[in-house]
Amino acid sequence: DAKTTQPNSMESNEEEPVHLPCNHSTISGTDYIHWYRQLPSQGPEYVIHGLTSNVNNRMASLAIAEDRKSSTLILHRATLRDAAVYYCIPGGYNNNDMRFGAGTRLTVKP
């Protein structure tokens, strides 16, 4: 399993963009980069995933470095509901047992 490094915590102001970084320098060539989040007292929730190209969906954008050794989850306008622990998880498409790390705890201030 690829090792990941994420900041333990980050803070953001409401309505401002948030960039959550993740280093995954040992990622294999076929691993996807998955992002999940866990709101307080809830189960993990899928956010986005990508392989090489940047990805956008209704929740967030994912920017993947050209060498794929790092990626950044972008929340374009943070809301109070976005306060959660965000996990970056490299993994194969057909091997979906997600191996969660410690993640980044995002605090959103009003």
Partner 1 sequence: EPEVTQTPSHQVTQMGQEVILRCVPISNHLYFYWYRQILGQKVEFLVSFYNNEISEKSEIFDDQFSVERPDGSNFTLKIRSTKLEDSAMYFCATPGGLGVGNEQFFGPGTRLTVL
Among 38, 61, 69, 72, binds partner 1 (CB under 8 A): 38
Q: How many angstroms separate the Cα of 68 from the Cα of each of 2, 54, 59, 61?
A: 12, 11, 22, 16
Closer by beta carbon to partner 1, 21 or else 101:
101
* Residue 80 contacts partner 1 per CB under 8 A: no
Among 9, 25, 95, 107, binds partner 1 (CB under 8 A): 95
Distance CA 14, CA 108 (A): 6
* Residue 39 contacts partner 1 per CB under 8 A: no
Among 25, 28, 56, 96, binds partner 1 (CB under 8 A): 96
| Single-letter amino acid code for the residue at 55 | V
Chain-centre distance of CA 25, in angstroms? 15
- For 107, how many CA atoms within 13 A lie in the half-sphere containing its CB? 6
* Residue 94 contacts partner 1 per CB under 8 A: yes
The residues that touch partner 1, with contacts defined as CB under 8 A, are: 32, 34, 36, 38, 42-46, 49, 87, 93-103
